[in-house]
Amino acid sequence: MIHTINVDRPHPYPPRVTEFTRRFWDGLREGRLLTTAGRRSGQAAFPPKPISPQDWEEEVDWIELSGQGTLYSHTTIHAAPAVFVDELPYRVCIVDLDENVRLATRYVGARNPRVGERVEIVAVRYTDHISYAARALEPANNH
Amino acid sequence: MEKSVAIIGCSALPVGKWQSKPEDANQVLEHEVLAKLVVEAVRQAGIDKSDVQGLSFTMNRHYTLQKYFATFMANYLRLPCHGTVSEVLGNGMTGGWAFDNAANDIVLGRARVSLALGVNFETAARAQDHMMSSMRATGDVDFQSIFGITPIAWYAMDATRYIHDHGSSRAELASVAVKNRMHASLNPLAQFRKPITLDEVLEQRPIVEPLGLYEVPPRSDGAVVLVLADEEYAKSLGKPYVRVRGRGFFHEGAHQISEIPNDMTAFASVQGASRQAYETAGVTAADIDVAELYAPCTIVEVLAAEALGLTPVGKGARWASEGRTALGGDIPISTSGGLTSRGHPAYVTPLYSFVEIFEQLMGLAGERQVHGAEIGLTSAELGNYNAALVHILEGIHQ
């Protein structure tokens, strides 16, 4: 299970949801970080895909990720596309999850990010859509 | 024996802000600008219009209203031909693909002369509106763009990681911008030509930390025409020319980031493409006299140069700060001023790289001439250097 934080505004640029990816977004609503993995290889993909990109397996399984990982890199953005200008400055980052999966997302929290620090993925509940972000994994965030 | 390809002429618009605003009484239109460059380049190459049998265009930005630009231009130039008449698109690699497309016309024997050309007009659009499109070109719309990750944010994350891994610093990286501005001050085609100091670079407002305004590319318009010819035909003209000696390409099968963790700053695409290019050219990195790299940000030039073997891994930024990649240094890189100072009309940026290497290898680079330059290298890329296209070029003086 992952934690959920609430944001009191609509998502400025929400994702398009397909019949296939709906399970991922619904999972976030339940506090679960899901993705797909090749049935034979077991290799997790991100984002979830209806095929396994590593060996083009056609059978994939949904698996649950711990949501914990290590911060690979980060930046703070000061010049943004029009829909994100109101949020400036904001941080984005690259996270290597413990299941050997790399993803990019927002970095939230008051602390300055540090390369190599332990982070966790959290679900971010906007007033209209669900999303996700990374934040430092520390006792204060584990409630 | 496979035909080999020569560059026998070129012309280019000085990089800058050329695009008119919709409300301007006098519009600056892409086809007029490009048609004049075509005629100029063909005249300078010393060939006849009827020799030209192919037109390989870069795709226009979506701001360009004239659609089916390639066939429109075939009419505008009144050019019946048997080679390619088409537009290609590949993000920042677009100009590189146009070059390859024209070269293929010649290698396949479909044309004796083929043009690689294009125009990129975009500066009338506000940056924040332009990024609504470009963020979708450099990320997964539904799993990355939703976070507002801008194209250069990926490069900034390269910089953060590089500084962490190699004990480098923002100041070392920023020295690339100072060096390239010095080069641009000597280049009539460059958009920004006033020399700058390291302190000035470091004082600029942050754009994507740790990179500030002078370490990221400006918004630019530009247009280029390259005249490519069968080398046998180039020889028969009795004038010096530039020969395409080697070529390599590699896509790492990932876009922006690899979902399986890897060393993001190793630029595997450049390693793969350059290995192939050096091999086909029969040279090594040590043989390169001048390199013109597709590097939108300071960090990108550092990483690409390291992956090409032009500078030692982890030391590229230091080499720049020590002047070893400047004119007169061990290996002059981005003698045009690079993307931060020559400017970055993205779809035609790789064509400007060929212009620079052409001028260097023909001895036409004036004050920024690399003395005795015989072998040059260009690179083009897309994403976060997820793919690289490398060409090795050689000056032939006859």
Comparing CA positions, the residue from A68, A65, A51, A91 lying closest to residue B210 is A91
DSSP-H helix ranges across chain B? 30-45, 69-76, 94-107, 127-137, 151-166, 170-184, 198-203, 231-236, 268-281, 298-307, 316-321, 338-341, 349-362
Q: What is the mean pLDDT of chain B?
A: 97
Q: Does the pLDDT of residue A141 top 60, yes or no?
A: no
| Contact state of B157 with A102 under an 8 Å Cβ cutoff | no
Indicate the pLDDT class of residue B2, thresholds 50, 70 and 90: confident
| Contact state of B157 with A94 under an 8 Å Cβ cutoff | yes
Q: Nearest 5 degrees, angle CA B384-CA B207-CA B383? A: 10
Q: Say what the pLDDT of residue B130 is.
A: 96
- Closest Cβ–Cβ partner in A12, A80, A100 for B150: A80
Domain boundaries in chain A? 4-141
CA distance B206 to chain A (A): 6
- Closest Cβ–Cβ partner in B145, B153, B260 for A77: B153
Residue B211, SS3 per DSSP? strand
Q: What is the mean pLDDT of chain A?
A: 95
Q: Say what the pLDDT of residue B128 is.
A: 96
Instruction: Render the burial of B44-68: b for 16+ CB within 10 Å, e for the rest.
Output: ebebeeebbbbbbbbbbbebbeeee
Identify the helix (H) or strand (E) that includes residue B249. strand B241-251
| Contact state of B260 with A82 under an 8 Å Cβ cutoff | no
**Cβ atoms < 10 Å from Cβ of A88:** 12
d(CA B84, CA B102): 7
Q: Does the pLDDT of residue A142 top 60, yes or no?
A: no
String of DSSP letters for B75-141 = HHTT---SS-EEEE-BTBTHHHHHHHHHHHHHHTTS-SEEEEEEEE--TTS-HHHHHHHHHHHTS-T
Indicate the pLDDT class of residue B398, thresholds 50, 70 and 90: confident
Q: Does the pLDDT of residue B239 top 90, yes or no?
A: yes
Amino acid identity of residue B371, one-letter, is: H
Tokens, residue A40? 């034979």
Residues of B with CB under 8 A from a CB of A: 126-129, 131-132, 135, 139-150, 153, 156-161, 164, 205-210, 256-262, 264
- What interface predicted TM-score (ipTM) does this complex get? 0.97
CA distance A16 to chain B (A): 6
Identify the helix (H) or strand (E) that includes residue B5. strand B5-12
Q: Is A96 on the interface with B (CB under 8 A)?
A: yes
| Contact state of B259 with A80 under an 8 Å Cβ cutoff | no
Assign residue B42 a region (left: φ > 0; alpha: ψ between -120 and 50; beta: otherwise): alpha
How much is the average pLDDT of B245-253? 98
d(CA B54, CA B103): 10
Minimal-distance CA residue of chain B relative to A12: B146
pLDDT more than 70, % of chain B = 100
d(CA B322, CA B329): 9
Indicate the pLDDT class of residue A143, thresholds 50, 70 and 90: very low
Q: Say what the pLDDT of residue B1 is.
A: 65
Comparing CA positions, the residue from B18, B368, B366 lying closest to residue B191 is B18
Indicate the pLDDT class of residue A138, thresholds 50, 70 and 90: confident
Residue-wise pLDDT tens digits, B172-216: 999 999 999 999 999 999 999 999 999 999 999 999 999 999 999
Q: Is A41 on the interface with B (CB under 8 A)?
A: no
How much is the average pLDDT of B330-353? 98
| Contact state of A78 with B257 under an 8 Å Cβ cutoff | no
| Contact state of A115 with B144 under an 8 Å Cβ cutoff | no
Indicate the pLDDT class of residue A55, thresholds 50, 70 and 90: very high
For each of the domains in chain B, give its residue range(s) and CATH number, in order of start: 5-124+219-236 (3.40.47.10)
Q: Are the CB atoms for A101 and A46 separated by under 8 Å? A: yes
Indicate the pLDDT class of residue B76, thresholds 50, 70 and 90: very high
Q: What is the pTM of this model?
A: 0.97
Residue B258, SS3 per DSSP? coil
Minimal-distance CA residue of chain A relative to B156: A75
Q: What residues of chain A lie within 8 A of the CB of B132, using their CB?
A: 81-83
Q: Does the pLDDT of residue A140 top 80, yes or no?
A: no
